Structure 1
Amino acid sequence: MSASPHPPNRFALAYAGLMVRRPGTVLLVILALLAASVWGTLKLTINSNQLDLISQELDEVKDVKRIIDMVGGSGHFMLALRSSDEATLKRVSDDLAAMILADKEHVRSVSHKLPVEFAQQNMVLFVKTEDLAEGKKRIMAYLKDQLRRNNPFFIELKKTEPVKLDLQDLVDKYSSVGKRSIRDDYNISPDRKMIMMLVKPMWDTNEIGRTKDYVDKLNRDLAQYSASNAAGVKLVEDYDLMGDAKTVAYGYTGSYKTSLDDSYAIDESLTPVAFIAFVSILLITIVFFRKWAPTLIVVSGMVIGTLITLGFTYATVGELNMITSILGGILMGFGIDYGIHFVFRTRLELGAGKPYDVAIRDAIINAGRPALVSAVVTSGSFFVLMVSEFRGFSQFGFLAGCGTLILGFTLFAWSPALLSLAGRLNPALPAKLIGTMKPPATSSATGKEIRLPRPGLMLGISTVIVALVCAAAVPWNPAEPPQGKELGFFERLQYGVRFNYNTRALMPAGQPSVRLQDEINERFQISSDPIAVYTKTREEAKEVYDELTQNRQKYPTIDQVVSVYTFVPPPDIAQANAKILEEWQEELKEIDVESLPPEMQEKAGIFMKMLSARPFDVNGVPDLYAKQFRHLPSTKPENHGYLTFIYPGVDLWDGKLMLQFADETSVIHTASGKTFRASGSAQLYSRLARIVLADGRLTVLLATLWILVMHFADFRSVPLALASVIPLTVGLAMMLGFMSLFDLRLNFMNVIILPILLGFGVSHGLYLLHRFLEGTSPVVALRSVGAAVASSTLTAVAGFGALLAASHNGLRSMGLVACIGLITTLVVSFTVLAAVMQLLHDRRVRKGGGQSNGTALPGAPNGENRAA
């Protein structure tokens, strides 16, 4: 049996001795920690406020908090009603508005209609002067023809066709203010089949928990209304049904609901993911150990270590968030690695004929060094996430890094202590419980050393295959791939592995709230939620409004701008139109209204009011309209002011377009030289997207540097350090290649997996090389620890693979990328690294005069290659 590659230091000897001499004490300490941790774990809660995950010092966060204080939130909770019967639709919306507004505990306001009489009467002041003149010409020609034909003395010698009044082109052109129709008080779609109700809750979109409670309450209220309303109308939550006179279909959307659905999809996935991960890990360990006892030992240690980590989370952070809530499942897959390697090494030591206490001590010393290095490197790769500005990632990095160390120490204490305690009862019991493994034969029946045949050829073939796969990840064509067409396999390869900026692809497929939002966008031709620009005074609001509306070429991603000044006619047009209206009134004095047809007389009153419209400034805007743009009475004094709303003209689910929209609107420079900031979900998410992209690059770089430094510190040899990272670097490069081959893309969620895979991938090379440096041949090293490496990797695959069962596409993409990366690193370990080790071993043998044992490997420190 081989000895340790390094002379064991005093700490390792003392620690191993403690596990063997005081197993009962060690187990009691672990169980005491477990009891305290279970108490803390039961008190853990998940903070669903996503705003808390971003640094509170960011300008985007401060801006959103101001908007929340001013108007109660940065978006809307939308209730959409659908029916083919317009009367029923309006009656039900009136009933529901009254019911919803009565809930003062949850609802600040609800809007389903807005009187449009003022806008209708004054629209003539907004119309282009030439269009107003054209409208006057058509109407006067029609009126004069009607008066002539209604004259009882009218005689037509030659029959002529009556003058037709066709104003549809002008009506369509000026039937809305912004995108708000002025034909109807209700927020009803042009086809008269959907009414949109905008609810402003008492909290912001980021407080997911409160939104969920409100949806549950609203569902109960709507069910009660459906069962008891006097008209007998049934309400049905359905996102496809078109209702009728007796049925109204309803659905929820808006930023409140889409945020809730996204987080709920993650939360809903946690329980099945954790269960699947646990069962898969259990089955894999049973298959590799082929015995129940070692499986129970390492699995119980894994569970204890995970619970202690959760207890540590309560003691240090106090709560989980939407990102750290998946911590348990991932740590289970990573953490069991240490228990597997310890048990496999103990089997090997027992198979060499050592007494149980010596075998356990030597297993701790021999497997402990690579396990410790692996734990430090892996935890360090998690810790680099702490540099992220996104608190979800930084907290995940901190907890996962600490959890890796906790699990490593737990399993290297729990497992040896249990076996030592069993040995105290019966010295033969440890071997019966976990089994033994005879040291692999070093020579064949002919007396020759067992070696990998033709390692150079194997390395060459492997290198060619690796190079071809990795080449698929390279973007050979720097241009963007053509949009709107399905690319063939070879067409796709030229663009390499790509980044998917479409955040819609991260959400559950066919999410009802997203489909409804798309339907509203199509029916009303308006995006759901705007962003807002804060100004202290109305004069500043006018500057912002003028800048955005008069320089549209600077803001191509903006669809419309809505402000209190939207309801103020442009002074020059208003003055010119007022002159026409005055002249028109004079002309109409000669017309006797009673001489007109009855249907014309009914509209004469409204028409005359329109003719009396005269220019007005912002003070003439009714408070019913103006208050939409002012702060609430409850707003803090420092946040008093006015808001200008900006509606995007691009799909914000597309990350690139979202970033462009945010860039155009984040800082607005007006003609006076002042600057104003826009705020809202688009600004927050674009900042978060940039944080994720920047942090992804930075953390990969930091993790790579950390790994290289730690490997050199461990091996004290550049060749060995580089050899040990072959599975990691080559495996990840192949992962990117396979992603390109199968048209899988990186995205805002799975990109953060890369530094994590860097950290875990180091274990393959570490365990194999440390065993190899004990003086064994590569074949012996592979036979000794290969099963442990494969088993520990597959348990990690099981931990991440469980994410494939998640309904949330972002989580599934994380799991898929991780599984590909882990499997490729494992394959590279048993091919490329094995061939490299055989070549190194052959060189070692040649320099040692044909003897492998005890011969120093070139570049290795003294004492690295000793065999027992």
Structure 2
Amino acid sequence: MSTSSHPPNRFALAYAGLMVRRPGTVLLVILALLGISLYGTSKLTINSNQLDLISQELPEVKEVKRIIDMVGGSGYFMLALRSSDEPTLKRVADDIAARLDADKENVRFFTYKIPVEFVQQNMALFIKTEDLAEGKKRISAYMKDQLRRNNPFFIELKKTEPVKLDLQDLISKYSSVGKKSIIDDYYISPDRKMMMILIKPMWDTNELGKTKAYVEKLNKDLAEYSKTNPQGVKLVEDYDAMGDAKTVAYGYTGSYKTAVDDSYAIEESLQPVAVIAFLAILAITIAFFRKWAPTVIVVSGMVIGTIITMGFTYATVGELNMITSILGGILMGFGIDFGIHFVFRTRLELGAGKPYDIAIRDAIINAGRPAAVSAVVTAGSFYVLMVSEFRGFSQFGFLAGSGTLILGLTLFSWSPALLALIGRMNPALPEKLIGTMKPPATINASGKEIRFPRPGLLLGISSVIVAVVCACAIPWSSQEVSASKELPLHERIQHGVRFNYNTRALMPAKQPSVQLQDEIARRFQISSDPIAVYTKTLEEAKEVYDELTGHPEKYKSIDQVVSIYTFVPPPENAKANAKILQEWQEELKEIDVAALPPEMQEKAGIFKKMLEARPFDVNGVPDIYAKQFRHLPETKLENHGFLTFIYPSVDLWDGKLMLQFADETSVIKTASGKEFRSAGAAQLYARLARIVLKDGQLTVILVALWILIMHFADFRSVPLALASVIPLTVGLAMMLGFMSIFDLRLNFMNIIILPILLGFGVSHGLYLLHRFLEGTSPVVALRSVGAAVASSTLTAVSGFAALLAASHIGLRSMGVVACIGLITTLLVSFTVLAAVMQLMHDRRVRKSGQRPPSDGTASGGGSGSETRAA
């Protein structure tokens, strides 16, 4: 039978010869590398500063760094206190504030109360003139009535009802400035049951390790206060309970805490996942080999290769980040693939009756070529991620690509050298340890070739099933549907696979800091953290404030703008109001406060002070307010200036709304034509979201092109190259179809799985087609390497399936998508590709003029010594 394959090249022969002739030297080199790598691995640390993962040249990053230098960042670490007893709340807040004030090492500054007397006295200047006139009318009528009724000579011939003073509608409109109540100095909720302490640590929100350490310190300080405070108030960290006169419940939130919780939820989820993945890989390897020895060989090689990769990481990058910290687990699931294919092929060669050294040599040559191509293609698929602007992805791509090559080389050196060294001690021992596999028969008992029956029908049926499933991934309707909305099956199919922009859906369920953030939003009617706009001068700050507050139609996602000019009354309004106040003051000049009812006398004194309010400019704003918007004394000279804070009206956990908010506020163009950039977590996350979406699409395209080019370079045939990528392309298309059917959605985390699956999925078609091109029939090819393909796929599946045990929903979604993709790819390999190979084989036989063998002999072990013809 004529076949088409590549003869082993000189490098492959030399490499295989080295493994067999010098196994001891090879093992010593690997162990030496292991020792060096262990040292490097022990020195590896995880850089938890997420800001370092984004290009430092991005304008969003530069602006954030400016804000960090000015005031430590735009967000806060929030300590919320909850109790039904207001005096207890305030007393505990005062005590905690004293401790925070003494902590110069961690606390840059904090805010929990601001004197409101100045705002109260000048509030009349901020009120709309028509509302002030209405208030004047009501109050004047009420005071005249009270004076009249309080006169000892008051006689009423006909009884009349006293004039009632109802100002609630006006008070509710002007009871706060920038969502801060002007009734109370403290940051206390309107229901008087929650107090907020806003803490600005000495570091930024991206330095997660420092925030985590600070939370631990704060917990100890609060526990100590709980035991020693003279009032006997007990502090309890609780995100649901309401305290009382003797108990105060507290909790942490704000951008500092939510960033830590999300990142460390991933890290903590990965700890049990790594153990589960390793045990699952071990169990699957044992199940397929049915022996301990080959399992020990490949698993030890996998561990060694992973450690060498970690050592390589230390030597090249120097540290891990929150993304590359999952590198080891992924490489274990992928890397063991090389060892499994080598051992299965060695068993096949031994089963053909070859001596151990020849069997090892031929296994390296025959399994090594598809393994090498698979390693290069997979590594290249990872390297493609290096085009990403997000350093987390680019570093992951570099390290995962390099790790794939390292693991492939390690397992194709460690496993053969170890077996060869054992064979030198006892030539019969390799066969006894790893077992053998008889080359599958090519003909049955009746002398006919064993083949897949009716391959055309099999291909037709499987193609229809595949087409139907893949069609479910296509959005047939252009109607917009919320990704969070549950849809019935027919509508899911109609709308295809959807993208879930809601980042809240990726977090662990009921994350306390997020729940507390929602509670604060409800109680205070304010979002937890703003973004900030830097201006060099007060004049520029005024321009920005006027632009943002004067054009609500342009900034629909803004809830409020808080600036130093928030505390400056609009000049025209203040002038008109001052005229009313002066007139009013003249009218009430003759009033004797002592003549009013006792309950009104104190309020009347305050009221008279309010009437004395006169227009003032920005220089009249007290420093207690102004310093909130000014740079700190230690700020670099080039960053001296003022900040304007913007609070969103939309839920920033919703990615689409976050992108809308970022688009509206990223560049503020004022009336003078100047442009000012905003900075903050929302802008950074919006930029990162766009990078992920863009890179997800770009990397899939680049990886697909890379795979096609490499497959053509390997097979030198367009039909063979296309056939080899059938499992990959069809499997992933089916994965998207099943995601639509089962209402699973792509998101900002699992989208990165797509190029990884493309990279790993190449091995299925490569190993099957290379075995087929050795001259075997499709049935023999499938029986020869099918178990190895299935085993290596299931080890990768088990690695990703372990993510289902993670508490972090985003990680779980990555596991689900990866498992579906790997399993569909495997199913397509054993159905669609098998049928295609049978049709190719039949055509090959017809072209050669030969018929399937009928003399009862089996042609094949498919070893390196088989006859090959062009």
Are the aligned partners of 1:472 and 1:493 in contact in 2 as well (CA < 8 Å)?
Answer: yes
Q: Distance in 2 between matches of 1:3 and 1:235?
A: 79
TM-score normalized with structure 2 length: 0.98
Q: Distance in 1 between matches of 2:110 and 2:35?
A: 50
- How big is the shift at 1:478? 1.4
Q: Distance in 2 between matches of 1:484 and 1:132?
A: 46
Are the aligned partners of 2:3 and 2:773 in contact in 1 as well (CA < 8 Å)?
Answer: no
**CA deviation digits over 1:316-350, x for unaligned, max 9?**
00000000000000000000000000000000000
Aligned: 1:866 with 2:868: yes
**CA deviation digits over 1:92-132, x for unaligned, max 9?**
00101111121110001111110000000100001011111
Q: How does 1:375-414 map to 2 (within 5 A)?
A: 375-414=375-414
Q: Distance in 1 between matches of 2:273 and 2:597?
A: 74
SS at match of 1:552: coil
Q: Aligned residue for 2:609?
A: 609
Aligned: 1:541 with 2:541: yes
- How big is the shift at 1:865? 8.4
- How big is the shift at 1:151? 1.0
Aligned: 1:758 with 2:758: yes
Aligned AA (1:866): R
Q: Aligned residue for 1:584?
A: 584
SS at match of 2:409: helix
Q: Distance in 1 between matches of 2:329 and 2:191?
A: 49
Q: Cα distance 1:449–1:484, how it changes in 2: closer, same or farther (>3 A)?
A: closer
- How big is the shift at 1:864? 11
Q: Aligned residue for 1:45?
A: 45
SS at match of 2:347: helix
Are the aligned partners of 2:233 and 2:246 in contact in 1 as well (CA < 8 Å)?
Answer: yes
Q: Distance in 1 between matches of 2:681 and 2:374?
A: 40
Q: Distance in 1 between matches of 2:30 and 2:844?
A: 44
- How big is the shift at 1:806? 1.4
Q: Aligned residue for 2:296?
A: 296
Q: Aligned residue for 1:63?
A: 63
Q: Aligned residue for 1:857?
A: none
Q: Distance in 2 between matches of 1:316 and 1:516?
A: 41
Q: Distance in 1 between matches of 2:377 and 2:485?
A: 44
Q: Aligned residue for 2:790?
A: 790
Q: Aligned residue for 1:839?
A: 839
Q: Aligned residue for 2:861?
A: none
Any gaps of 5 or more consecutive residues in structure 2?
854-864
- How big is the shift at 1:73? 2.0
**CA deviation digits over 1:536-591, x for unaligned, max 9?**
00000000000000111100000000000000000111011101000101110222
Are the aligned partners of 1:773 and 1:865 in contact in 2 as well (CA < 8 Å)?
Answer: no
Are the aligned partners of 1:274 and 1:329 in contact in 2 as well (CA < 8 Å)?
Answer: yes
Q: Aligned residue for 2:325?
A: 325
Are the aligned partners of 2:483 and 2:498 in contact in 1 as well (CA < 8 Å)?
Answer: no
Are the aligned partners of 1:385 and 1:396 in contact in 2 as well (CA < 8 Å)?
Answer: yes
Aligned: 1:679 with 2:699: no
SS at match of 2:495: coil
Q: Cα distance 1:546–1:241, how it changes in 2: closer, same or farther (>3 A)?
A: same
Identity of aligned residues (%): 83
Query: Which range moved further: 216-225 or 2-11?
Result: 2-11
Q: Cα distance 1:753–1:575, how it changes in 2: closer, same or farther (>3 A)?
A: same
Q: Distance in 2 between matches of 1:484 and 1:372?
A: 43
Are the aligned partners of 1:5 and 1:865 in contact in 2 as well (CA < 8 Å)?
Answer: no
Q: Distance in 2 between matches of 1:864 and 1:743?
A: 50
Aligned AA (1:255): S
Are the aligned partners of 1:773 and 1:866 in contact in 2 as well (CA < 8 Å)?
Answer: no
Q: Distance in 1 between matches of 2:515 and 2:271?
A: 26
Query: Which range moved further: 216-225 or 586-595?
Result: 586-595
Aligned AA (2:372): L
- How big is the shift at 1:450? 0.1
**CA deviation digits over 1:195-240, x for unaligned, max 9?**
0110000000000000011000000000000011000000000000
Aligned: 1:160 with 2:191: no
Are the aligned partners of 2:119 and 2:182 in contact in 1 as well (CA < 8 Å)?
Answer: yes
- How big is the shift at 1:847? 1.4
Q: Aligned residue for 1:725?
A: 725
Are the aligned partners of 1:841 and 1:852 in contact in 2 as well (CA < 8 Å)?
Answer: no
- How big is the shift at 1:376? 0.2
SS at match of 1:554: coil
Aligned: 1:738 with 2:713: no
Are the aligned partners of 2:533 and 2:643 in contact in 1 as well (CA < 8 Å)?
Answer: yes
Q: Distance in 2 between matches of 1:35 and 1:422?
A: 22
Q: Distance in 2 between matches of 1:368 and 1:73?
A: 54
Q: Aligned residue for 1:274?
A: 274
SS at match of 2:199: strand
Q: Aligned residue for 1:356?
A: 356
Aligned AA (2:393): F
Aligned AA (1:820): I
Q: Distance in 1 between matches of 2:684 and 2:417?
A: 50
Q: How many residues align?
A: 859
**CA deviation digits over 1:132-155, x for unaligned, max 9?**
111111111111111111111111
Are the aligned partners of 1:298 and 1:336 in contact in 2 as well (CA < 8 Å)?
Answer: yes
Q: Aligned residue for 1:481?
A: 481
Q: Distance in 2 between matches of 1:591 and 1:93?
A: 41
Q: Aligned residue for 1:445?
A: 445
Any gaps of 5 or more consecutive residues in structure 1?
854-862
Aligned AA (1:318): G
**CA deviation digits over 1:271-292, x for unaligned, max 9?**
2111111100000000000000
Aligned: 1:569 with 2:565: no
Are the aligned partners of 2:4 and 2:775 in contact in 1 as well (CA < 8 Å)?
Answer: no
Are the aligned partners of 1:243 and 1:249 in contact in 2 as well (CA < 8 Å)?
Answer: yes
Q: Cα distance 1:789–1:865, how it changes in 2: closer, same or farther (>3 A)?
A: farther
Q: Distance in 1 between matches of 2:527 and 2:580?
A: 36
- How big is the shift at 1:755? 0.7
Q: Distance in 1 between matches of 2:206 and 2:29?
A: 41
Q: Aligned residue for 2:212?
A: 212
Aligned AA (1:454): R
Q: How does 1:77-116 map to 2 (within 5 A)?
A: 77-116=77-116
Q: Aligned residue for 1:557?
A: 557
Q: How does 1:446-461 map to 2 (within 5 A)?
A: 446-461=446-461
Q: Distance in 2 between matches of 1:73 and 1:572?
A: 35
Are the aligned partners of 1:4 and 1:366 in contact in 2 as well (CA < 8 Å)?
Answer: no
Aligned: 1:264 with 2:244: no
- How big is the shift at 1:493? 1.6
Aligned: 1:334 with 2:331: no
Are the aligned partners of 2:73 and 2:680 in contact in 1 as well (CA < 8 Å)?
Answer: no
Are the aligned partners of 1:6 and 1:864 in contact in 2 as well (CA < 8 Å)?
Answer: no
Aligned AA (1:342): F
SS at match of 2:108: strand
Q: Distance in 2 between matches of 1:325 and 1:674?
A: 43
Q: Cα distance 1:731–1:484, how it changes in 2: closer, same or farther (>3 A)?
A: closer
TM-score normalized with structure 1 length: 0.98
- How big is the shift at 1:866? 2.7
Q: Cα distance 1:486–1:359, how it changes in 2: closer, same or farther (>3 A)?
A: closer
**CA deviation digits over 1:717-770, x for unaligned, max 9?**
000000000000000000000000111111111111111100100000000000
Are the aligned partners of 2:449 and 2:852 in contact in 1 as well (CA < 8 Å)?
Answer: no
**CA deviation digits over 1:787-830, x for unaligned, max 9?**
00000000111111111111111111111111110000000000
Aligned: 1:708 with 2:708: yes
Aligned: 1:823 with 2:815: no
**CA deviation digits over 1:362-418, x for unaligned, max 9?**
000000000000000000000000000000000000000000000000000000001
Q: Distance in 2 between matches of 1:807 and 1:701?
A: 32
Are the aligned partners of 1:48 and 1:207 in contact in 2 as well (CA < 8 Å)?
Answer: yes
SS at match of 1:304: helix
Query: Which range moved further: 737-746 or 479-488?
Result: 479-488
Q: How does 1:657-672 map to 2 (within 5 A)?
A: 657-672=657-672
Are the aligned partners of 2:448 and 2:852 in contact in 1 as well (CA < 8 Å)?
Answer: no
Q: Aligned residue for 1:850?
A: 850
Aligned AA (2:218): L
Q: Cα distance 1:423–1:238, how it changes in 2: closer, same or farther (>3 A)?
A: same
- How big is the shift at 1:624? 0.5
Q: Aligned residue for 1:420?
A: 420
Aligned AA (2:868): R
Aligned AA (1:262): D
Are the aligned partners of 1:323 and 1:396 in contact in 2 as well (CA < 8 Å)?
Answer: yes
Are the aligned partners of 1:101 and 1:108 in contact in 2 as well (CA < 8 Å)?
Answer: no
Q: Aligned residue for 2:856?
A: none
Q: Aligned residue for 1:856?
A: none
- How big is the shift at 1:7? 1.3
SS at match of 2:236: strand
